[in-house]
C-alpha cells in the first residue's frame, strides 16, 4: 500500500475511535470517580495534563480547535482536583480501560502495537507538543488491548497537531476551519461563541490543509514497508470495527 493511501485509510477510523472514547459516558464516569465535577474538567485536565502546569492560554494555543472559553474553563475547573501529570495518568488509564472494553477480542493487538509503536517512534515531535507529551506517557507492557488504545490515542494526537499546523499554514484560523468543516452549529458546540459563516472560497484552503496534514504524516508511514502499511490498515479497520461513529474528521 502507498504511503498516502495508508494515511487516508486509517485517519478517519483512528480519529473516530478516539472521539468515541472521549465522548463516552463511561469515560466521564472515570472522571467523576476521580473527583472531577460534571463538565469538561476531566477531559481538559486529563487530555492536556501532559503539558504540565501550563497557563490556560498556553493549553488553548497548543490544542487549537476547541473554543478558548471551553478549554480555559475546563482546565481551571480541573486544577484543584489533581496535578496535571496525575490527571494525565488518570486519563491514560481511562483510555486503556475503554480500549479493553471496545477493541474486539479477535484482533491481533500485539502486532498492531508493534507497528503502531514503530510509527510513534519514527515521528518528529518538533512543534507538536501535545503529541510529544502523550508519546512520553508510560504505556504498560502487560495490557495489550489497553496499550493498543493508548497508541491509537497517541497517533490521533499526532494527526491533530499536524492538522493544526496545516490549517494555519493554509491561511485559516482554527475557528474558520471548524466552521468550514462542521458548520456554524457544530462549531458552537465545540466552544466557539457565535461563529460566523465563512466565505466559500475558504473551503479550498481547508482542503489544502487536509492535504498538508497527510504530507506531514508521510514520514512516519514511510518507515513501514508497503506490506506493513497494508497490514496496519487492516489492523486499524479490525481494531475500530465496533465504531458506529459518523463524526467529521475535525476537530482533531
Instruction: Look at residues 3, 72, 80, 8 and name the one whose alpha carbon lies nearest to residue 37.
Output: 80
Instruction: Tell me: pLDDT of 36 over 80.
Output: yes
Burial of 204 (0-12, 13-18, 19+ CB in 10 A): exposed
Alpha-carbon gap, residue 56 to 96, rounded angstroms = 26
Alpha-carbon gap, residue 139 to 134, rounded angstroms = 10
Half-sphere exposure of 193 (CA within 13 A, CB side): 4
- CA triple 22-25-30, angle to 5 deg: 80
The structure's pTM equals: 0.92
pLDDT tens digits, residue range 101-160? Answer: 999 999 999 999 999 999 999 999 999 999 999 999 999 999 999 999 999 999 999 999
Instruction: Look at residues 75, 72, 67 and name the one whose alpha carbon lies nearest to residue 44.
Output: 75
Q: What is the largest CA-CA distance in the chain?
A: 51
Alpha-carbon gap, residue 49 to 168, rounded angstroms = 24
pLDDT tens digits, residue range 175-206? Answer: 888 888 888 888 888 888 877 777 777 889 99
Instruction: Look at residues 6, 15, 9, 4 and name the one whose alpha carbon lies nearest to residue 159.
Output: 15
Q: What percent of the chain has pLDDT over 90?
A: 81
pLDDT tens digits, residue range 133-148? Answer: 999 999 999 999 999 9
Alpha helices, DSSP H only, in 35-108?
A: 41-47, 56-63, 68-78, 84-102
Amino acid at each position: 500500500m502507498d504511503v498516502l493511501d495508508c494515511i487516508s485509510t486509517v485517519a478517519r477510523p483512528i480519529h473516530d475511535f478516539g472521539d468515541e472514547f472521549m465522548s463516552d459516558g463511561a469515560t466521564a464516569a472515570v472522571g467523576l470517580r476521580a473527583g472531577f465535577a460534571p463538565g469538561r474538567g476531566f477531559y481538559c485536565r486529563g487530555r492536556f495534563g501532559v503539558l504540565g502546569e501550563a497557563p490556560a492560554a498556553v493549553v488553548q494555543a497548543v490544542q487549537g480547535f476547541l473554543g478558548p472559553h471551553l478549554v480555559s474553563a475546563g482546565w481551571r475547573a480541573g486544577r484543584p482536583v489533581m496535578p496535571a501529570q496525575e490527571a494525565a495518568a488518570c486519563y491514560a488509564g481511562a483510555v486503556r480501560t475503554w480500549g479493553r472494553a471496545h477493541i474486539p477480542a479477535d484482533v491481533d493487538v500485539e502486532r498492531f502495537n508493534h507497528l503502531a509503536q514503530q510509527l510513534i517512534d519514527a515521528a518528529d515531535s518538533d512543534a507538536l507538543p501535545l503529541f510529544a507529551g502523550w508519546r512520553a506517557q508510560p504505556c504498560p507492557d502487560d495490557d495489550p488491548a489497553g496499550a493498543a488504545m493508548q497508541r491509537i490515542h497517541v497517533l490521533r494526537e499526532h494527526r491533530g497537531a499536524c492538522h493544526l499546523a496545516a490549517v494555519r499554514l493554509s491561511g485559516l484560523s482554527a475557528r474558520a476551519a471548524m466552521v468550514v468543516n462542521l458548520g456554524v452549529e457544530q462549531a458552537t458546540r465545540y466552544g466557539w461563541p457565535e461563529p460566523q459563516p465563512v466565505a466559500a472560497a475558504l473551503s479550498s484552503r481547508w482542503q489544502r490543509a487536509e492535504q498538508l496534514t497527510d504530507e506531514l504524516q508521510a514520514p512516519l508511514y514511510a518507515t513501514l514497508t508497503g506490506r506493513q502499511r497494508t497490514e496496519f490498515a487492516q489492523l486499524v479497520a479490525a481494531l475500530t470495527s465496533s465504531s458506529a461513529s459518523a463524526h467529521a474528521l475535525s476537530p482533531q
